[in-house]
Structure 1
Amino acid sequence: MRKRRVNFFKHDFLINQLMQLYSFLLIILSIVIMLALSAYTGLERFHTSNRLAENSSMQLDTYVKERNTVVSTVLGEFTNSDTAFESLRNYLQLSLPEYFSYSNEIFRQTGQSVYLPNILYRLLREHSDIEEIIIQLDESDDLLVASPRAPYGEKQRGTKLDLKNRLYFARPISQPSNYAQPLGQVYVVFQADTVMANQAADNEVHGIDSFLYSTNGQRLFQSATGLSSSEVQMIDTAMAGENAHLLQKDYYVQQQTTVSGEISLVLLSKKVIWQEIIQKSLFIFAIGAAIIGLLLWVLQRTFKRYTSQVKTIVAATTAVSQGNFKIQIDTDQVQQELKEIAEAINQMTVSINDYIEDIYTLEIKQRDADMRALQAQINPHFLYNTLEYIRMYALSRNQEELADVVYAFSALLRNNTTQEKVKTLAEEVAFCEKYVYLYQMRYPDKIAYHVTVDPELSQLYLPKFTLQPLVENYFVHGIDYQRNDNAISIKAYKKDAQIVIQIKDNGKGATKEQVMAINETLQIAEIEKQTSIGIKNVHERLRGMFGNGYRIEITAQKDAGFIIMIYLPEAGIKKGMTHGV
């Protein structure tokens, strides 16, 4: 990990510094975006909860108004006339048979149905959310209680009511002829689960608690599933003492008093809101951190690959600056603009190598050939004079054949010791003829030699010792002196804008593997110290003089001889002449 960190913050290349700058900007920008997104999410969460709280407060207020209307309707059934009120009073004071007779008599006399059980049954059917209707008259020890379980009502002994934590609305009941004098109470108890309806689930999720209190501070309703009993008790205490402002430390409070005096209280928990905001912010930062990590990893990988490619190019240029002009950059390992740079460097090194081959290698090879030729020279003038004396003596003795041999040898020796770097094709061929002539004199009737040169090519300049080493290879390695049909030929002609020089023999030849090894040796473009002027030496000097337009092909078969084909560009005639000058 330490090594990776060090590599990540290296300053050896500009690209690494750019990577650090981009990484820093990426992190800063990501943090700003995450903070802005977290703030937006928090505000949106707060506004959403606040809207739900306002809706809850409006829902409570609407519910209270509607239920007060229902209570007024219930109350009206018993106080819309003195007859209805008397029917209620008699129901509580008379037995059921006596009350039944009473209600029938009223119906017979007035045509008005005041039968209380039917009225209660109808009210419960019309208002399905009524849990109980309780009527208490001060003058009676019984209570009239009607519920879905007992829809026709029933009398219960006792005047003590326990309506704690139940959702009810109370109205005083009076005789219609005297509203100023209350004679009892009507209590209508409603089902609490219908107060918030479908909004209760949203309130629970968003930490919204709803309460409804009576005018004396008694809790009539609560929708606070997320609160503990102690927290509910604390809220009840605050509302009983009319100290709702004490709740503002932990809650956002919305409080309203209805027309009938009930107090609706909606609490928005600060703890729940902030917990959710923090959770969402942590989630945003976790996702952001993961994205930043991924982007930094991709950035690091991309820049690392780019840096590696730059290092490869820098290493190559360093090697070139130290004199290694053979180095080549693998362009498959670099991309885009670096690939163009690498190709340019490769082309530059190739051009430099070609230049060295043209100027330096040719010079060295030629000097090497000259020096090896000079090693055999022992006082050239003395040798020339001595050989000329021998030749003249042979002529004086009528030994013309011996005189010709001495002349040929003298010519070879003179050619070896001269300092020219190039020779014409005609001179090279004449030199080879004298060389072959000496072998013919040594092995009479065993060697045939044939030369065909296009007259237009006779003045073609070639590096000195171009053809002689190729002919010498035949006499050193290929000839069989037991045979009488040994033959070697030299042909020079033009074909398809090329100059072709062919050296062909019928010697021992070579196997495919040997020919392949020779060709592989010729493909190695290196300057080597050689102990002889062989094919490799000839190949390098011709390539140095004629460049890419030159090529050589060597073919052979076992016991069937060699064929050496030298191809030169037709423009090589002028180039050779230029070198000759």
Structure 2
Amino acid sequence: MNRLSSIRTKLLLSFFIFILLFNGIVIVVYASSNKLSTEYHESFERFLLYNQLSQSASDLYEHTRAYLNERSDEQLQAYFNNRMDMITMLNQLKAEQGGEAFQLDSYIQLINTHIQNSEIAVGFVLRDNVEGYTSFLQNLQNTANFIQADTLNLIDIRLTDYQTLYQEMEDRNKTYVNFTVSLIATTVSLGALIALWVAEGINKPLKRLSIVAKEVSKGNFSGPPVDIKTNDELKLLGDSFNLMRNDLTIYIEELKEKAEMERLLSELEFRHLQNQMNPHFLFNTLNTVSKMAYLENADTTSGLIDSVSALLRYNLSHSKTDRAVALSEEVAVVESYFHIQQTRFQDRISFRLVQDEQQLDVLVPRLILQPLVENACIHGVEFLEEGGEIELRIYREQDQIICDVLDNGVGMTKEKIRQVMDQLVTDKVADGHSTQIGIANVRKRLSLFFQEDHLLSIHSDEGEGTLVRVRLPLTNKR
């Protein structure tokens, strides 16, 4: 079975995916916005650099002219500082020119020329060459004017590009607004869909469980099992519920079987307490004993009395009707019954026992064979004038012990067999017999004792005798 994924894991995973998607979109938006802002900042910085270069070129001319006029160290130092600032800005311009090299080459060359003219003019001053520094001072003024004109021209070109950039920024700003609104709507919709999906995944199995639970509360344990497709705690809950319902069904069936067993045992005990020995049977037996005491010697009478005592003692043990006994004890009771009836009917009915003594240690419910033999005697052969036969056969067949009670009596129809098996006919007290336990009672007690059905069967045709067969599973041995 696959490892269960918890509902908590699903929620965390859904939340993580949602946050990851949201943050990814925010990062993309931020990167695009940051790129546009960087372009804007670079353009603005370029404007400032052009303006500073133009101003620095004018300052360099002024400082050079002031030094030529005053020739002081302070003016010379101011010149050198202005020159170094201008060289620094020129290097910055060279580093940032990028794809604009063609437009800036002449501008950079002009600035270099301006710086060189200032250096030559200062050099002529240091050598007191008036004609030389006067000429280069004029050139310095001209290059300063050219630089200002080129600066304005470059700024104008950059402003044209900046206007395009500004329009692009405006368009992107509108796009960002629309995107933000769409993102909020998408986020809310996606969150709602995830919430509905998770809620449906929890609610649907719980609803199914609640419906089946209501049926169970009404006592209806049938129906298909609850099938939950999810692989989380709800599936475990559904499987546990199905197992609980199956266990309850089995438990209720066991209670019903136990109640049926107790009912049958109570009925058997009541009949034993009410009428353990039929008065006519006891009268006829005692009358036979009396006559035998007159006609025969004491040994025969003693044997008959022993058989009656054994049968009477077994039947009167009503306080142990729920106790299992060995099959050999049941056979001993049948032998006592055979002896009594053989003595009573003489040659009219013959009794025969064929048994495999190795199979007599299996445990069985009390009173399962003697009632079957008695029924064969009462309903099968008792009304025959002569030639009645009853036989008990005990043998093994594979994993079962077979007990057959056969008679050559009047037999039964299929309808009568069905009535006897289903206890649709009422057992009547028969004169001269000992018990009132029906075949249906024996069949039910066998089924409850061994927890199997179809252990007793009847095979008969009208006028051709009857075979009652009991199958004893080899599951309960001493």
The structure richer in helix per residue is 2
| TM-score, normalised with respect to structure 1 | 0.42
Bigger relative contact order, structure 1 or 2, given CA contacts below 8 A and separation 6+? 2
| TM-score, normalised with respect to structure 2 | 0.49
The structure richer in strand per residue is 1
